[in-house]
Structure 1
Amino acid sequence: MKPLEGLLVLDFSQFLAGPSAALRLGDMGARVIKIERPGTGELNRQLSIKNQMVDGDSMLFHTINRGKESYAANLKDSEDAASVKALIAQADVLIENFRPGTMEKLGFGYDAVKELNSGIVYATVTGYGQEGPWRDKPGQDLLIQSLSGLAWLNGNADQPPVPFGLAVADMFAGAHLVQGILACLVRRGRTGQGGRVEVSLLESALDLQFEVLTTHLNDGGELPQRSAVNNAHAYLGAPYGIYETKNGYLALAMGSVIRLGELLACEALAAYQDPKSWFTQRDEIKQILVDHLQTRTTDEWLQILEPADYWCADVLTWKRLFAHDGFKALGMVQDVGREDGARRLRTTRCPIRINGERLFDTNAAPKVGEHNASIEQEFKLRDAQPSVGQHQPDGGERI
């Protein structure tokens, strides 16, 4: 039994942060029903990466919505809205990530939902929180990276700000949302009380920087200086960074510059005996390493450094990663597909293990409204109005 089996999650969200949270709950056993607009469904169905579409929907949509069911409803239509309210009355978790005020205008804000279901955990993702001058700005990952300082931290000192190569603010916000949801479910198991969970992309991006922000806040307000040579962490000294070798690249983490010089037979590093110089003269040390490490291959350096337990690593492309036994041992790739036998898709599995077992789900993302008939019949949505007030969702006592 997966730990969240028996829980019902309603996913009103779109794009990445909210749907990724619902995906993770589904991976751990929850039943996830995606509430979508009829016809077009969630906007992410058409937001393609590299113009790749699978069975009519974007690759991105399939990646984030595998294993879910789809219930299509027009929330502005009274009959559809009544059916969704009847579903809410039987749910454990509701996830939404519309702009602040949207769900309230539709009649599905937290106060209204709590009247339908006092035990529900209502989870919200916004771009910048519910208040402040940025409240109504578009909550998009690149914009968040730019405003939060993340992009400014990346790249060498002489380079402009460099964004991450993936949507880190969205992904961390989704993970933080799951943490809050699980915490409220634990409390509900003890008290029967539901709750509201709120995260924002900006706050998640700031929390991602807690290490460097704490250093900055306690350092007299002095800004960190990116290294001009192979920057990797603005607050760490040499040799921290990635270096080109004769045939590839080598990553060097924290370690003694003196010991590194001995292992690499690099006499020039012996001049930096004072550990303070590893930061104050960081670029000079790194430039020595840049020149020295290009004289041999990555494998030659690894054969010297790894037996000495010096923290280092090869820098792999995905092609080389997938071919490596270390990756194969993890079993991180799974095949998913739709029940009608449409084109199957390879994707990653949930990274969490329960009792030593990997969590797989072979069901692909649903088509728009694919499960309307079965959901309406199972939950009696068309012939019953939602009960109001004291409903305790099934499974609450198990969480």
Structure 2
Amino acid sequence: MTDASQPQALGGLRILDFSHLLQGPFATQLLADLGADVIKIERPGKGDLFRSLTFRNKWVGGSESPNFLAWNRNKRSLALNLKEPRARDIIMDLAREADVVVQNFRPGVMARLGYGYDDFAAVNPRIVYCSGSGYGEDGPYVTRPGQDMLIQGLTGVMAATGQADNPPTPVGAGFSDQVGAMNMVYGILSALLWRERSGKGQEVRINLLAGMLAHQNQEMVMAMNFNEDFQRPNSGIGHPGMDAPFGTYPTTDGWVTIAMSPFATLVGVLGNDDLLAYDDPETLFTKRDEVWRKLAAETGKWSTDDLLRALLAADIWCGEVKSHLGAAEDPQVQHLGLIQGYEHPKAGHVRVVGPAIGMSETPPAITRHAPMVGEHTREILATLGLDSAQIDTLIAEKVAGVSD
């Protein structure tokens, strides 16, 4: 972990984080990496639902969910029963000095519990309150579950991904949630800048549906203005709107990607001049699957290293296709120091992807491990002036919780 004494851009900013799963926690982790004091408010004992979900029943250190560890570093955990009036008093005491509240429960849940925007604004008019949802705060889908893959299906990205003779293909990561997290950060920082100018807080609302559509704007503009949907290719072409050679191609020991490149130059590298018969824009689109198959027959004669060396020498836009483990060992990834780690009291050494931005004066940093449920309950309650006996009473009466 990094030296916590290094100045950070969001140092002094306090965030009350009620979020769970991916969208909200990733957003608050991004802010925490920049120095914000993120207090993660969790259910005593159970905590964030992601603590109990994992891939392939694998647990880091035998007990900790990689899903939770991925999105919750640099935070403190305060375990409170939100339905307890005394817990609400504690949260509102914290809110008086807080800057931001983040939550991604279904619309209406937080307000019914007494933790809506108006409740926080009543004790702190400068508060920035950010809500994340699947489909917005109202409308015909408001009661639907707003899960990542469901949003991908609704917004066109799934229908545009994969090959035509296969089912629509979801992206192999939580793309909708991660776009939503970025939009949360964008909205929160914008609201904080406005607050500095006006003195006023505000509510920020982010939803996955809007985010996924906005991040496909070039595809949406094309489809809507020509009233024509994209048709998925039936080969390794990499985008439903692109012509050959754009796509993925086999080698003797793997796959390479080839992006927008002069077709004649590519053919020259591969050494089959018969392919030049396809070299006009209309043919490269209308016969793109046929072209892909013929190109693939040629790339399949090369090893990945040899083909990349030849393509790069000819200034062809290309790259390898790597697995997650392969990406972690990539020389450029290593050069940039993107794979980092921290020590966790139960999981041991946890390898993670570090912050993705660089700042010359206030760099982001990993200074805390992902917390255990209620790990910082005593520490945080003490800042409100509660003594040990009072904290012990709250814990004994199940208003608050601490880690094992």
Same fold, judged at TM 0.5 (above) = yes
> How do 1:337-376 residues align onto structure 2 when only pairs under 5 Å count?
337-338=343-344, 343-355=348-360, 359-376=364-381
Structure 2: unaligned runs, 5 residues or longer: 1-6, 391-404
Instruction: Specify the SS of the correspondent of 1:306.
Output: helix
Instruction: Specify the SS of the correspondent of 1:337.
Output: strand
8 Å CA contact retained: 2:237, 2:288: no
What do the CA deviations read for 1:154-200 (whole angstroms, capped 9, x no partner)? 11111111111111111110011000000011111111111111111
Distance 1:322 1:111 in 2: 45
1:275 is displaced (CA, Å) by: 2.0
Distance 2:52 2:283 in 1: 53
> How do 1:16-95 residues align onto structure 2 when only pairs under 5 Å count?
16-54=22-60, 56-95=63-102
Instruction: Specify the SS of the correspondent of 1:286.
Output: helix
> How do 1:104-123 residues align onto structure 2 when only pairs under 5 Å count?
104-123=111-130
After the TM superposition, which parts of structure 1 deviate over 4 Å for at least 4 consecutive aligned residues?
none
Which residue of 2 is the match for residue 386 of structure 1? Answer: none
Which residue of 2 is the match for residue 273 of structure 1? Answer: 279
8 Å CA contact retained: 1:268, 1:288: no
> How do 1:7-18 residues align onto structure 2 when only pairs under 5 Å count?
7-18=13-24
1:93 is displaced (CA, Å) by: 0.5
8 Å CA contact retained: 2:328, 2:339: no
1:374 is displaced (CA, Å) by: 1.6
Which residue of 1 is the match for residue 188 of structure 2? Answer: 181
Alignment partner of 1:201 out of 194, 208, 211? 208
Distance 2:176 2:326 in 1: 27
Distance 2:279 2:257 in 1: 22
> How do 1:325-336 residues align onto structure 2 when only pairs under 5 Å count?
325-336=331-342
Instruction: Specify the SS of the correspondent of 1:303.
Output: helix
Distance 1:71 1:363 in 2: 15
Amino acid in the other structure paired with 1:150: V
Distance 1:154 1:97 in 2: 28
Distance 2:297 2:347 in 1: 53
Distance 1:319 1:103 in 2: 39
Instruction: Specify the SS of the correspondent of 1:153.
Output: coil
Change over 3 Å in CA distance of 1:46–1:319 after alignment to 2? closer
8 Å CA contact retained: 1:84, 1:381: no
Distance 1:266 1:357 in 2: 53
CA RMSD across the alignment: 1.8
Distance 1:351 1:305 in 2: 29
Change over 3 Å in CA distance of 1:267–1:342 after alignment to 2? closer
Amino acid in the other structure paired with 2:370: A
Distance 1:93 1:333 in 2: 29
8 Å CA contact retained: 1:121, 1:195: yes
Distance 1:171 1:254 in 2: 27
> How do 1:219-230 residues align onto structure 2 when only pairs under 5 Å count?
219=226, 221-230=227-236
Distance 2:55 2:363 in 1: 28
Distance 1:38 1:302 in 2: 53
8 Å CA contact retained: 2:237, 2:244: no
Which residue of 2 is the match for residue 250 of structure 1? Answer: 256
Distance 1:381 1:269 in 2: 77
Which region of structure 1 is more displaced relative to structure 2, 272-281 or 201-210?
Answer: 272-281
8 Å CA contact retained: 2:333, 2:339: no
1:324 is displaced (CA, Å) by: 3.4
Distance 1:264 1:113 in 2: 64
1:356 is displaced (CA, Å) by: 7.4
Instruction: Specify the SS of the correspondent of 1:370.
Output: coil
Amino acid in the other structure paired with 2:183: H
8 Å CA contact retained: 1:87, 1:381: no
Which residue of 1 is the match for residue 145 of structure 2? Answer: 138
1:54 is displaced (CA, Å) by: 4.0
Change over 3 Å in CA distance of 1:357–1:75 after alignment to 2? closer
What do the CA deviations read for 1:71-129 (whole angstroms, capped 9, x no partner)? 11112111111111111111001000000000110111111211111111100100111
Instruction: Specify the SS of the correspondent of 1:152.
Output: coil
Which residue of 1 is the match for residue 401 of structure 2? Answer: none
Alignment partner of 1:158 out of 138, 144, 165? 165
Which residue of 2 is the match for residue 232 of structure 1? Answer: 238
TM-score scaled by length of structure 2: 0.90
1:362 is displaced (CA, Å) by: 4.0
Amino acid in the other structure paired with 1:364: H
Change over 3 Å in CA distance of 1:356–1:257 after alignment to 2? farther
TM-score scaled by length of structure 1: 0.91
Across the two proteins, how many residue pairs are aligned to each other?
Answer: 381
What do the CA deviations read for 1:214-268 (whole angstroms, capped 9, x no partner)? 111111x111111112131011111010011122211110122222212222212
1:376 is displaced (CA, Å) by: 1.4
